[in-house]
Amino acid sequence: MTDDPFALFGAWMSEAEASELNDPNAMTLATVSAAGRPAARTVLLKAWDERGFVFYSNFESRKAQEIAASGQVALLFHWKSLRRQIRIEGAVAPVDGAQADAYFASRPRVSRLGAWASAQSRPLESREVFEARLDKVEARFPGEDIPRPDFWSGWRVTPDYFEFWQDVKFRLHERLVFRPGAGGWETGLLYP
């Protein structure tokens, strides 16, 4: 048993990257509205280290509104082929502008244009309306130099809870939990 949840996360993520065909970095992001209504959706983990886990999106989206309402989220990585999952809970805050700019610049051109064209989470009259918006943005930014919109950035989840779940036959699963303690991370097991 390790006492470092980030090291264990890294080991499990490396195994997922080696075995999962599509998006081993896909994670369910759970939020809650100001009224207490939960919501979940899949986003992609784009960076992680001992400071936390980073994903990007539109700051005007539903998820952004819910993040602003509570400042807390939950993440879930599920790798069915490995029969593993990791739950992470914690506070969430925007990444700094330089990090967001660097990541945005690394995205494919059409993805950068799409960030400008999308009024994420708001009603869309038709696909043609979105494609027309995309055409206008493409005309506005004809080259590779596409700045990051002010309404698009990333968040960093600073974990205060990890749960590593491993499938065991007959539903006798293993569940290893990490919580912050006085001298670092405290570990424990949970019943399946």
Residues 6+ apart with CB under 8 A from 141: 112, 113, 116
109, 122, 171, 179: the catalytic one is: 171
Which DSSP category does 122 fall into?
S
Looking at residue 78, its pLDDT comes to 97
CATH of domain 5-100+150-189: 2.30.110.10
The tens digit of pLDDT for each residue in 148-177 reads 999 999 999 999 999 999 999 998 899 999
The whole-model pTM stands at: 0.94
Contact 137, 110 (CB under 8 A): no
Separation of alpha carbons 45 and 156, rounded Å = 10
The tens digit of pLDDT for each residue in 47-71 reads 999 999 999 999 999 999 999 999 9
Residue 14 identity (one-letter amino acid): S
Locate the domains of the chain by residue range.
5-100+150-189
* Residue 179 among the catalytic residues: no
Separation of alpha carbons 122 and 64, rounded Å = 13
The tens digit of pLDDT for each residue in 113-122 reads 999 999 998 9
